[in-house]
Each structure stands twice: as C-alpha cells, then as structure tokens.
C-alpha cells in the first residue's frame, strides 16, 4: 500500500476499522447474489413488477430470479457531505436541513452514518439508529479547507457495505476534487464491485465526470442543482426513489464460481430504463 493510501486509512481507522483488503475488493457469495434495481418510465419508478418481469444474465447466462420485498430489508444510509470552504453559510444551512430530512425519513430498523469531508475525511458517526446523536453530529459540522471528494467516496462505500441491509450512499458536493490522496481509478474499481448504491447531489456545473461514473457503476444516479436551496428536496427524492427500487436475487447457475461476473439486468416492459450495478466479484 502506498503512503497516500495509508494516510487516508489512518484518518478513518478509529471510526471504521477498515482493512487494506476491504479497500481493494467487495465480494458476493456464490450461494446468492442480491442486486438493487431501479426501473423507471418517463423518469418515475415503475411499480408492481414481479420476478418473472426480470431477465438477469450472469456472464451472459440466464438466471432464475427471486424478488425480495424491499420492506423486508432495512437501509444503511451513509451521508457523505462536502464541508469544504466553498460551502457558504446559507449552503451549510440548506445542507444541514437536507441531512435532517433524510434522518427524519428513516424507519425503525434503518441505520445511518455521517461522513464529512474537506481536505480531511471525518466519520462523525458510524452506522446507528440513534437519530439524536446523528442530528447533533450533523449540526456540529462546519465548512473549511479543500475538497477530498474521491477519498470520501471510498470511505462512504466501505461504511455502507452490510450483508444484512441495503447500503445507500448519499453524496453531496459543490465542487471538483482538489486534495484527495487516493486515485480516481482505485475508487472507481471499488465502485464497480460494491453492493452499496451511490446517489450524488451536485450543486453547480464545475464537476468533471467522476460523479457520473461513480453513480453509474453502482447503479445509482447523479442529480444536479443550480443552488443549495434544492438540496433538501433532492435528498428526499433520493430516499423515496431508493425505497422503490427492486431487490432481486438469484443463485448463480452455469457460471464459474470465482472472479469478476458481468451482470445484465433487463425487464420485460417497453419504454423502461433499468439501473443496476454492472457486476460482482465471487469468492472462490
């Protein structure tokens, strides 16, 4: 591991206990593969689909799909919020209200975590259902410094990973990365293998294509806003949309048990758009 990678891990170790191996690969067990799938038509979630409406191919091989009710699996929501010096006082107030709205929208068994980033990536709260603690941590965050967007994306995906819940990263930024240690390619490789879904809310038009690629690789979406006044409504849109995603699973058949598996997810409905992660790594 490079000195740069070690520096990022040192900043997070007390809160996250992340190992070197966890940074490199996320894996899905060969007995069952679970995929979060968003199906939309005219920009709105399509409801009422059944298992037979889905066509999933694992390395090109059709699989027998089971549909899991999304209500049966709690959420693990990681708020990863840009607190660099470019965030104004008004922007901070809008962002705080947006984060509070996400917390208010959680249900009994859901959990949330808070990561803020500037030139430093700080986990202010691990995954917890203690909403009072999370609200206090959110209110205490103050903007300062540069922007380590790439480092924060890596940390958020790691925190969101859980076998017993559905991982959702809600990533906010108002600028391009200016101070990350980790490479863009390493973090996008993590995204390609992660089971967490990343939604990003970006303010302004100064971003490069990192967020577009990050969200696409995890099956999420990038939402843009002109000003921070729209962030609260976009955060709530993300949470509502995620709750209406389908959770499909299957036991891989007719494919090799190890290595990278390419996923293709389709539905037997016309004029629909399907978003899902592009694959997974199976353990040997």
Backbone angles phi and psi of 128, in degrees to 5: -155, 155
How large is the average pLDDT for residues 73-95? Answer: 94
pLDDT at 149: 96
> Where is 261: in which H helix or E strand?
strand 259-267
Domains of the chain listed by start with CATH number:
3-26+72-243 (3.40.50.410), 33-62+248-282 (no CATH)
Determine the 3-state secondary structure of 20 from DSSP. helix
Rounded Cα gap, residues 157 and 169, in angstroms: 7
For strands 259-267 and 279-282, give the pairing. Answer: antiparallel
> Is 90 exceeded by the pLDDT of residue 15?
no
Rounded Cα gap, residues 41 and 37, in angstroms: 13
Rounded Cα gap, residues 121 and 14, in angstroms: 12
Q: Max Cα separation, the chain?
A: 56
The residue with tokens 């999933």 is 56
pLDDT digits (tens, 9 = 90+) for 112-146: 999 999 999 999 999 999 999 999 999 999 999 99
pLDDT at 258: 84
pLDDT at 206: 59
pLDDT-based confidence at 161, cuts 50/70/90? confident
pLDDT digits (tens, 9 = 90+) for 204-226: 865 679 999 999 999 999 999 99
> Is 70 exceeded by the pLDDT of residue 276?
yes
Sign (positive/negative) of CA torsion 283, 251, 45, 104?
negative
pLDDT digits (tens, 9 = 90+) for 34-77: 999 999 999 899 999 999 999 999 999 999 999 877 677 899 99
How large is the average pLDDT for residues 97-116? Answer: 96
The residue with tokens 């990192």 is 210
pLDDT-based confidence at 255, cuts 50/70/90? very high
Closest CA to 84 of 186, 203, 3: 203
CA end-to-end span of the chain: 24
């Amino acid at each position: 591991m490079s000195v740069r990678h070690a520096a990022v891990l040192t900043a997070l170790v007390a809160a996250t206990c992340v190992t070197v191996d966890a940074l490199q690969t996320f894996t899905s067990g060969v007995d069952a593969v679970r995929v979060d799938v968003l199906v939309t038509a005219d920009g709105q979630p399509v409801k009422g689909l059944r298992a037979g409406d889905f066509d999933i191919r694992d390395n090109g091989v059709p699989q027998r799909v089971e549909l899991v009710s999304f209500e049966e699996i709690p959420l693990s929501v990681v708020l990863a919020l840009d607190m660099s010096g470019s965030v104004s006082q008004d922007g901070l107030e809008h962002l705080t209200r947006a984060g509070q709205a996400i917390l208010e929208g959680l249900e009994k068994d859901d959990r949330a975590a808070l990561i803020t980033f500037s030139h430093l990536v700080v986990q202010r709260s691990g995954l917890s259902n203690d909403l009072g603690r999370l609200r206090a941590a959110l209110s205490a965050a103050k903007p300062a410094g540069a922007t380590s967007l790439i480092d924060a994306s890596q940390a958020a995906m790691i925190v969101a990973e859980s076998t017993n819940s559905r991982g959702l990263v809600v990533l906010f930024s108002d600028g391009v990365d200016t101070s990350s240690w980790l490479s863009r390619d390493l973090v996008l490789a993590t995204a390609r293998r992660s089971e967490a879904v990343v939604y990003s809310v970006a303010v302004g038009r100064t971003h490069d294509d990192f967020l577009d690629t990050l969200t696409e690789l995890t099956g999420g979406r990038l939402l843009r806003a002109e000003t921070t006044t729209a962030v609260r409504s976009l955060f709530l849109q993300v949470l509502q949309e995620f709750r209406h995603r389908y959770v499909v699973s299957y036991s891989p058949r007719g494919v090799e048990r190890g290595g990278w598996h390419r996923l293709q997810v389709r539905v037997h409905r016309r004029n629909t758009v399907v978003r899902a992660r592009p694959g997974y790594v199976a353990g040997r």
